[in-house]
Amino acid sequence: MQTRTKVLSLTALSLAAVVFGMILAGSLDFTRAASADAATPAVAPAVASAPARVAPVGLPSFADIADRAMPAVVSIRSTDIIKPDQRRRGMERFFGDTPFHPFFPDRRQDSGEPEEEQQQSGGTGFLIEADGFVLTNNHVIDGADKVEVTVGETDVYKATIVGRDPATDLALLKIEGSRPFPILPLGDSDRIRVGEWVMAIGDPLQFEKTVTVGVVSGKGRAPGLSNVTRSFENLIQTDAAINFGNSGGPLVNVAGEVVGINTAISRLAQNIGFAVPINVARRLIPQLKEGKVVRGYLGVTIGPVDADMQDAMGLPSRDGALVQSVEPGKPADKAGIRHEDVIIRVDQTPVRNNRDLIDYVSGKRPGTKVTLSFLRGGKEMTAVATLETRTEEGQAAEEEPAEDEHREKIGISVEELTPAARRNYAIGREIEGVVLTHVKNVSAAADAGLREGDVIQEVNGRPVGTVAAFRAELKKAGDARFARFYVHRPGPRPANFVVAVRLKD
């Protein structure tokens, strides 16, 4: 009897536990939806009509990525012999007075004595070939008398500067070792998307092999880091934390491939950093190995086709690069290109914007023939230009657009180019046109970027050598909303450009 009672008690307890478990599971939503749907087909339509849930995606293993990449990331120390009258290299010399900073630390000790001293600065790099080629930033080693590279924790090698390119802030070093070096694979920076995870590796503030993680914040950035790099800036923006010492380090994707070379940060914000796309370096590595980068040069300054210029010129779209001026005797001039031409294709490559033309031309060797397709007077035309060598002192291949939006009236006074006017505004005798003697602060001309002393040489493509001719051409514009001015701006560095000036809304 007692045994039977014990069995009944155990059975009751088991049933109670099962019932309690079912109640608990239901209240905590542990029951799988598939079981509920199978048991209650009446609610199936409601479930089917609900928005599909996005399947959760786990984060990549950043530790695994770092383990694979870290052996190929190197520390770089450069040493300069600084004379008393030399300016400190780095921010002052390379970057000038800008809100951007290269991130290598200055470890110079100020002795207070006007004598030669050693200045050591540091940065980061990474091995790209097993025989010892190291990629880094030019500003890390610029002007260095000695460069040392540390691989791993303790292996220090004397490095040779093989080649450097200030325009893209890239440099290639070479170290010699008795065994193959670990390398980092190069990815495809053209394929990365805004929002993708990336990892920055480097030596910020002498904390070696530091890893930070963020995303690609933007592409195609041209922040104006320096006059040297301005024409070729096409940078990746990232919020992966980078600091002094990260210069030249790799920006790595989740596949462990290098997609960028960390170059600069903004001092005006938190976690706004910039990296040179690895595809830029990939194209230049063969030339860097030869010791010097040479680029094709067309000899034009160009600007974008904005909405006002499209309207003023009657263009079918805003695609293309607007020729602002043509340098006499250079390839574009010899090919017959003129200001106000809109280049829409080079060889078989479409030119959607300035960057397309700059990248294509600068990627070609001097002596290369290129076919330019352009719009002139509503018609498509072609010309063949033979590229020359672009020098560092050459004019930038891209000009900032004039501020020419929402104007109500022109607001200018013009005079003919008398000898007195030429003296007052330092205008050469070879320049023809009418000179602006006054520009109202609030006017269409001021909005277009015109200023006193500018010389209007053409209106809507027609020369104007007198005030009467200038007025006549404006009158011919009739009901047009815009007039195109071809302008010469005198000064220490004279410039020619095209602006669209609003005549009426």
Show which residues are catalytic: 139, 169, 247
Task: Please check whether residue 119 is in contact with residue 250, taking contact to mean a CB–CB distance below 8 angstroms.
Answer: no
**Cα 193 to Cα 217, 236, 240, 477, distances in angstroms:** 9, 10, 15, 46
Mode of pairing for the β-strands spanning 117-129 and 146-151: unpaired
**Cα 316 to Cα 12, 319, 337, 342, 480, distances in angstroms:** 85, 9, 20, 11, 17
Q: Is the dihedral of CA 419, 422, 426, 431 positive or negative?
A: negative
**Cα 166 to Cα 132, 161, 218, 274, distances in angstroms:** 22, 13, 23, 16
**Cα 82 to Cα 17, 77, 107, 149, distances in angstroms:** 83, 16, 13, 21
| Span between the terminal Cα atoms of the chain, in Å | 106
Task: Please check whether residue 247 is in contact with residue 259, taking contact to mean a CB–CB distance below 8 angstroms.
Answer: no
Q: Is the dihedral of CA 188, 229, 218, 58 positive or negative?
A: positive
CA distance 424 to 152: 65
Chain position carrying tokens 């995870």: 197
Closest C-alpha to 199, from 129, 136, 249, 149: 249
CA distance 141 to 349: 36
Degrees to nearest 5, angle at CA 176 with 146 and 205: 50
The set of long-range contacts for 14-22, using a CB threshold of 8 Å and a minimum separation of 24, is none
Residues 6+ apart with CB under 8 A from 356: 321, 346, 349, 350
CA distance 176 to 219: 36
At residue 478, what is the residue type?
G
CA distance 360 to 352: 12
Closest C-alpha to 128, from 288, 19, 275, 366: 288
Encoded tokens for 474: 């404006």
Give the residues across from 79 on adjacent strands: 120, 146
